[in-house]
Amino acid sequence: MHRLDLDHGHLTYTDTGEGELVLLLHGGGVDHRMWDDQVGVLAAAGHRVVVPDLRGHGEASTLDVPSRHCDDVAALVRQLDAGPAVLVGLSMGGGAATDTALEHPALVRALVVSGTATSVPTFTDPWVLGILQEWQRAIAERDAAAYVEASLAFCAGPTRTLDEVTGDTVQRCRQMLTDTLSRHASPDAVMPEPVRDAEARLGEITVPVLALCGGLDSPDHRDMGRRLAAGVRDGRYAEVPGTAHYPNLERPDLWDAAVQDFLTASLAATR
């Protein structure tokens, strides 16, 4: 793992391959390992693939001062001196990708965002609200196991049980979530700061955008993807069937094909 020191703390990241720069940004509570299936595929297709652990996750430092993930992503692209970059982000990482395109547009070439639109998500679905309520209870009672189990519900989505999730998605997410809590749960830890007006500013994003969501994800998550695709100047929305919040883990074949088709078209158009 490489390291990027920041004013407060540090990021870590892997760096694989050569070619057009692609950053893979993980979701909240998990880490760079969620993209293990994608790194080799993208590198073989001629991309330089960089996968960070954002602060508060994985081997990065704990986030203990008010900070924005989009500024950390921008610092990493500048450190690599290979931008502008394609940003591929899921959930929290997708919000960071969109925010980076708004706040640091010269550093972004295209976006793939899954399960969100910005770093200020909108939730109205009772199923999602129930999970968020259980998170708050688990945090108040310092019940790490309950927090992990509540988070794992997103692997299945609202219409399945965890037993119905294909492959090793649940096991991988459980391990990453458990590791995150063991490394970063602290009274001094803070949540990342969002770009609060991001959704109102989506029209400022001029680079190609693919909102690629799991077809079995919650209606809230898919609706945010649709709003993102509709709100930018060059956006499209697509779903990976039979998957929920982690489509790249459940069906990496379908995810990889959709992303590679988008990258081929979008990078050719921006050269």
- Helices 252-270 and 36-44: crossing angle in degrees, nearest 10, is 40
The top-level CATH class assigned to 2-123+190-270 is: alpha beta
> In the structure encoding, which two tokens stand for residue 76, read together?
């990493």
Region 14-31: mean pLDDT is 97
Q: How does residue 270 score in pLDDT terms, banded at 50, 70 and 90?
A: low
Among candidates 270, 247, 268, which has minimal Cα distance to 258?
247
Specify whether the CB–CB gap between 167 and 243 falls below 8 A. Answer: no
Give dist(CA 22, CA 16) in Å, integer. 10
What percent of the chain is modeled with pLDDT above 90? 92
**pTM of the entire structure?**
0.97
Give, as one character, the DSSP assignment of residue 31. -
CB 82 within 8 A of CB 21: yes
Per-residue pLDDT tens over the stretch 81-94: 998 999 999 999 99
* Structure confidence by residue, pLDDT tens digits, 196-221: 999 999 999 999 999 999 999 999 99
Q: Which helix (H) or strand (E) holds 82?
A: none
Burial class (CB in 10 A: 0-12, 13-18, 19+), 256: middle
110-168 pLDDT per residue, tens: 999 999 999 999 999 999 999 999 999 998 898 999 999 999 999 999 999 999 999 99
Q: At 233, is the pLDDT very low, low, confident or very high (cuts 50, 70, 90)?
A: very high
Sorted by where each begins, the domain ranges of the chain are: 2-123+190-270, 126-184
Helix, strand, coil shares of the chain, percent, nearest 5, are 50, 20, 35
Strands (E), the chain: 2-5, 10-16, 20-25, 47-53, 85-90, 108-114, 209-214, 235-240
Pairing between strand 209-214 and 108-114?
Answer: parallel
Backbone angles phi, psi at 237, to 5 degrees: -120, 140
Instruction: Please state the rounded mean pLDDT for residues 168-195.
Output: 93
Check: CB of residue 127 under 8 Å from CB of residue 218.
Answer: yes
Q: For residue 44, which amino acid is it?
A: A
Average pLDDT, stretch 40-48? 97
Residue 79 contacts residue 179 (beta carbons within 8 Å): no
Q: Whose structure tokens read 């940003």?
A: 87
Residue showing tokens 């999730």: 165
Q: Given this model, what pLDDT does residue 186 score?
A: 84
